[in-house]
Each structure stands twice: as C-alpha cells, then as structure tokens.
C-alpha cells in the first residue's frame, strides 16, 4: 500500500496542541495577526477560540500619573495590557463581539475618567453594547465603570447581574431595592459622604436624619466582602487644604449602618493615591450628627465598634503613595507625615478583626537602599499598639541594590527580631515600562517569610535580580538574601 506523504505543515495543523501553542503566540497580539485566520478553517477556529479565552477577563485602562496629566497623550488606552489607539477601540470591540463572539465575564476599567470626555462616554457605551451586551448574560464582575458615568441606568442594570461590582455611585445604590447576595460590593469614601449629606438635607433633626439613613441604605442586599476605596489625596473646596492630614473624614454611622445591613463578613481596603472623586463635601461636618473618622487619625480617638466582627481585613496598596510610605518610614523623617502609622490600630477599631493582611506596593516607594531600616520600621509601626490576638501578614517588595554599589552591607542584615522561616513564596506582578512605552512586562517575584510572633513579613525580590547577586553571596554569608537560597542548598 502506498501512503501519500504527509507534509510537515499539515501535521502541525492536525496536532491541535501544537497549533494552539503557535496561535497563542499570535493571538496575544491578534490585531496585528489577523492574516493567520486566512490560512485555513481549523486555524481560524483555533485562533478565534484563543482570543475568546483571552478576553473572558478584560482590563481596560488609561495610564498616567496625576502630576503628568497634562503631558501624557490621551490618544491611546491599554486593553489587556496592550496599547490600543483610541480610534481602533470600536473596531476591536466589534470584532470581539461579532467575529470572535466573546463572552466577557469580568471587566476592570481603570482611570478612564481621565480621558477626553467625548471619547470616554463613547467608550462607556461601547463597553456596554459590545462587551457586556444589553442582557449581560455572561457578565459577573464590572469594576470601575461608574467612574465614567457617575452611575447610569445601564450600569445599574448590570450591577444587578454581577457578583462583584462597583464602586457604586449613589444613583445606582438607590436602585438596589432587590434581594441579592454579592460576593464583593465596592463603595468609596465619597459615597459615604454623599449619603450623609443626602440624609441631612432631607431631614430636620438628628433623629430624622438617622431614620433617613436607615431608609436610604438598601436592606435586601448583602455582601460577603465590602471593598472600600479610599482616596489618599482628597481636597477641600476653595483650597482650604492646609489641614493636618490628607484623605478626609468619613461619616462613621454611614459605614456602620452599611456593615450591619449588608451582613458584611470581611473587608477589603483599597488605598488609592487619587481617584475621580477628589473633591470633598464639607457640609455634613457642620452638623454634629455623624462621627468623623479616618484611618490616619491618632487611634486613641477612635472608638472601638462593640458589636461588629470581621473574619479578615485585606489592604491593597498597589496604587497607594502616602499610606504605603507611612509603613516603611518613621513619621518624624517624612516631609509631610500623614499619620498612617495609626492605620492598623484604626482598622481594628473601625472593622474589628483578628486577621489583617497588607500588600505593599511593588512599584511605588519600594525599598532599595535602606532595606534593613525599612524592615525594622515596619515592625515598629505594626507593634506600636500592643495588639491582642492579631494575625498580621505583610507582603513587602524589595529592590536589591546592584552588587557593585558600595553600600552592599545594606542587603546584609534583617532586623534582629525577625526569625527567618524556610517558606518560599512567589507571585507575578505586571509593571509598565513607562520609558519604553512598549507595554507591560510580567515579572516573577520570590518571597521568603520572616516572622515575629504572629506577624509575618513576606519579603519579595525579583527572581532575575536574585540570580545576579547569587555569585557574590559567599562574601556575605549573613545576608538576608542568603535565605532565598538556603532551601536549594538543602534539597
């Protein structure tokens, strides 16, 4: 029998696994590689399926530091970490919804409110029409979209479909008169203020005001985790900004009412350098109805909630500047101390819990030259109040100094109180190379645990930097970096 020779190319095409690998390379940058769809039908199908997979979760963001808002061009955004020109966005989305048939489950939008207004509103509508669809059949999570529209009818309908949604604006909150348990519901410090002012302006006495509050907070919804977005640089109207600390007071009774009515089990705090809600309202402070609180006030003035208890409080600081800075630096050494050394004791008073975990930033205020000192300071800050029964976990990201540098001894020691644990951790973090304007790269970070009683400090360094210092370690056998290799030696 004579078997016709099989060409290597068709072998590749008939091997689905191989084909996927090849195409996944193209589909990562599929807008540039649409031609591969023309090769044959099997390629086309696999290609579209990979794109479908890559777009179940979508992150759509504009990237710019607040100080550079004038300089950074506004004619492109990043979609799933790839740079896309504004004029191509509509085509992209239409391609996704028609040719690809995406079923988007999760959408995160970030800082789109900083874009030019007209494009921003069109983008909001494209997201609804092309990615979510009017019925929102597949959508489970939408984060940040209301920053564009300040809460609209379309968004409030989607809020009802999601398991994870927000931050909700007041207009959306008012529509939540249905019964539903959210996995995560996001709110902002500004929302608390808006609610307080709404209740004050619709009542004539403190008693009436609290009745109004009780009626305003929807009572048929609940959430497992309440995510609170806290803006670190809110400003007061008319430039009355010379108050002692930034990020302004929150009306405590509003927070407490929400926590109780929604049967919140755990808290997540997102500390954010700046958000779309910069301007404070101050009218509510003229009335002595609500107790003003903030997490960076001296903690001795914060009363402890007597009846509330949460399984855990998670703090995200990847977009924080002031709060993250307050952890590794002495207040006395900061130019403008902002009181964040009070952060943990205040958390325990406002959101009573025995379990706090904190992710410090992997890109801002990262320790470079003074690692040992930072690590000691963190310990001082977290043990400032003699905590009772607190399990605390901090992820601390460290940049290793170049080994040629003179001050090598800085990487040598870990503060003496810490006991190194032979636990190796790792995580992946994406960061944007702003200089190159190329896009994001993902880096692997390796972590080692250092412990003081119930406090775990997980120190992370970039894996590739660790390779660089490896050779020089025999000169510094007591370096904390040594612990990163100790398991390897043993195994």
Single residue of 175, 318, 357, 424 touching Zn ion by CB under 5 A: 318
Site string for Zn ion, 435-464 (x = CB under 5 A): ------------------------------
Q: Does 60 bind Zn ion (CB under 5 A)?
A: no
Q: Does 133 help bind Zn ion (rule: CB under 5 A)?
A: no
Check: CB of residue 47 under 8 Å from CB of residue 40.
no
Identity of the residue, 27 or 141, whose beta carbon is nearer to Zn ion in the bound complex: 141
Task: Between 49 and 157, name the residue whose CB sits nearer to Zn ion.
Answer: 157
358 contributes a contact to Zn ion by CB under 5 A: no
* C-beta neighbour count of 91 within 10 angstroms: 11
Q: Which stretch binds Zn ion (CB under 5 A): 163-171, 190-198, 315-323, 345-353?
A: 315-323
Residues sharing a CB contact under 8 Å with residue 460, sequence separation 6 or more, in sequence order? 362, 395, 396, 397, 398, 425, 427, 445, 446, 447
Q: Is 297 in the site for Zn ion (CB under 5 A)?
A: yes
CA-to-CA distance for 339 and 119, rounded, in angstroms?
39
DSSP 281: P
- Select 352 or 420, whichever has its Cβ closest to Zn ion: 420
Provide the minimum distance between the beta carbon of 17 and Zn ion in the complex, in angstroms, as a whole number. 33
Report which of 203, 316, 304 is spatially closest to residue 252, judged by C-alpha positions. Answer: 304
Query: Running DSSP on this structure, what letter comes out for residue 316?
Result: E
**Which residue stretch of 145-153, 320-328, 397-405, 406-414 sits at the interface with Zn ion (rule: CB under 5 A)?**
145-153
Residue 291 binds Zn ion (CB under 5 A): no
Helix/strand/coil for 174: coil
Query: Applying CB under 5 A, which part among 170-178, 228-236, 321-329, 480-488 lies near Zn ion?
Result: 480-488
Instruction: Give min distance, CB of 124 to Zn ion, in A.
Output: 6
Q: How far is the CB of 486 from Zn ion (least distance, A)?
A: 4
Torsion sign (Cα): 478, 479, 483, 488 = negative
How many angstroms separate the CA atoms of 326 and 464, rounded? Answer: 28
Nearer to Zn ion, 96 or 123 (CB): 123
N- to C-terminal Cα distance for the chain?
55
Asked whether position 420 contacts Zn ion by CB under 5 A, the answer is yes
Residue closer to Zn ion by CB (options 70, 336) is 336
Q: How far apart are CA 193 and CA 197, in angstroms?
A: 6
How far is the C-alpha of 376 from the C-alpha of 365, rounded, in Å?
16
Contact status: 478 vs Zn ion (CB under 5 A): no
Nearer to Zn ion, 27 or 361 (CB): 361
Q: What's the min distance (Å) between Cβ of 261 and Zn ion? A: 24
Tell me: does residue 105 bind Zn ion (CB under 5 A).
no
Please identify, among the stretches 69-77, 271-279, 314-322, 380-388, the one whose residues bind Zn ion according to the rule CB under 5 A: 314-322
154 closest CA partner among 138, 137, 132: 132
Task: Verify binding: residue 155, Zn ion, rule CB under 5 A.
Answer: yes
Q: How many other CB atoms are there within 10 angstroms of residue 449's CB atom? A: 18
**Among residues 55 and 483, whose Cβ is nearest to Zn ion?**
483
Interface characters, 6-45, with Zn ion (x: CB under 5 A): ----------------------------------------
Check binding of 150 to Zn ion (CB under 5 A).
no
What does DSSP assign to residue 347? H
Q: How far apart are CA 349 and CA 82, in angstroms?
A: 42
The residue count for binding Zn ion (CB under 5 A) is 8
Structure tokens at 118: 């007209």
Beta bridge partners of 441: 431
Q: Give Cβ neighbours of residue 5 (< 8 Å, ≥ 6 apart).
A: none
Q: Which stretch binds Zn ion (CB under 5 A): 89-97, 296-304, 335-343, 392-400?
A: 296-304
Half-sphere exposure of 4 (CA within 13 A, CB side): 4
Q: Which residues of 223-245 are buried (b: 16+ CB within 10 A; e: fewer)?
A: bbbbbbbbbbbbbbeeeeeeeeb
Instruction: Let me know: does 172 contact 146? Beta carbons within 8 Å.
Output: yes
Minimum distance from CB of 172 to Zn ion (Å)?
8
Using CB under 5 A, which of the segments 75-83, 142-150, 168-176, 268-276 binds Zn ion? 142-150
- Residues at the interface with Zn ion (CB under 5 A): 149, 152, 155, 297, 318, 420, 483, 486
């Amino acid at each position: 029998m004579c078997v016709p020779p099989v060409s290597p190319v068709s072998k590749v095409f008939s091997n689905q696994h191989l084909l996927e690998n090849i195409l996944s390379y193209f589909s990562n940058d599929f807008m540039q590689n649409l031609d591969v769809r023309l090769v044959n039908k099997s390629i086309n199908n696999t290609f579209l399926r990979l794109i479908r997979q890559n777009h179940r979760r979508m992150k759509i963001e504009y990237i710019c530091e607040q100080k550079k808002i004038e300089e950074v061009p506004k004619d492109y955004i990043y979609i799933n970490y790839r740079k896309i020109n504004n004029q191509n966005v509509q085509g992209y989305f239409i391609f996704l919804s028609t040719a690809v048939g995406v079923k988007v489950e999760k959408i995160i939008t970030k800082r789109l409110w900083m874009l030019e207004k007209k494009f921003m509103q069109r983008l909001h509508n494209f997201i609804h029409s092309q990615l979510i669809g009017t019925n929102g059949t597949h959508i489970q999570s939408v984060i940040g979209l209301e920053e564009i529209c300040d809460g609209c009818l379309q968004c409030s309908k989607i809020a009802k479909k999601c398991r994870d949604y927000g931050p909700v604006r007041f207009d959306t909150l008012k529509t939540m008169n249905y019964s539903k348990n959210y996995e995560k519901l996001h709110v902002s410090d500004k929302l608390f203020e808006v609610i307080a002012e709404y209740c004050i302006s619709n009542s004539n006495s403190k008693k009436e005001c609290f009745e109004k509050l009780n009626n305003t907070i929807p009572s048929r919804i609940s959430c497992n985790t309440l995510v609170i977005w806290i803006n670190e640089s809110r400003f007061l109207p008319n430039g009355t900004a010379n108050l002692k600390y930034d990020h302004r007071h929150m009306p405590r009774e509003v927070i407490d009412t929400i926590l109780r009515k929604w049967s919140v089990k755990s808290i997540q705090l997102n500390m954010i350098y700046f958000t779309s809600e910069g301007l404070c309202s101050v009218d509510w402070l003229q009335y002595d109805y609500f107790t003003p609180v903030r997490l960076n006030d001296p903690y001795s003035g914060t009363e402890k909630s007597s009846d509330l208890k949460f399984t855990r409080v998670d703090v995200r600081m990847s977009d924080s500047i002031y709060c993250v800075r307050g952890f590794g630096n002495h207040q006395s050494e900061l130019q403008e101390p902002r009181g964040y050394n009070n952060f943990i004791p205040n958390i325990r008073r406002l959101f009573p819990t025995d379990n706090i975990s904190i992710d410090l930033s992997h890109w801002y205020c990262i320790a470079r030259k003074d690692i040992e000192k930072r690590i000691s300071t963190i310990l001082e800050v977290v043990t400032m109040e003699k905590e009772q029964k607190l399990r605390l976990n901090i992820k601390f990201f460290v940049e290793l100094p170049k080994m040629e540098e003179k001050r090598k001894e800085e990487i040598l020691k870990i503060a003496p109180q810490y006991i190194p644990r032979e636990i190796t951790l790792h995580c992946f973090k994406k960061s944007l190379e702003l200089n190159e304007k190329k896009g994001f790269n993902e880096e692997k970070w390796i972590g080692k645990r250092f412990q003081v009683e119930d406090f775990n400090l997980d120190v992370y360094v970039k894996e590739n930097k660790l390779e660089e210092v490896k050779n020089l370690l025999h000169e510094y056998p007591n370096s904390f970096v040594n612990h990163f290799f100790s398991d390897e030696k043993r195994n």
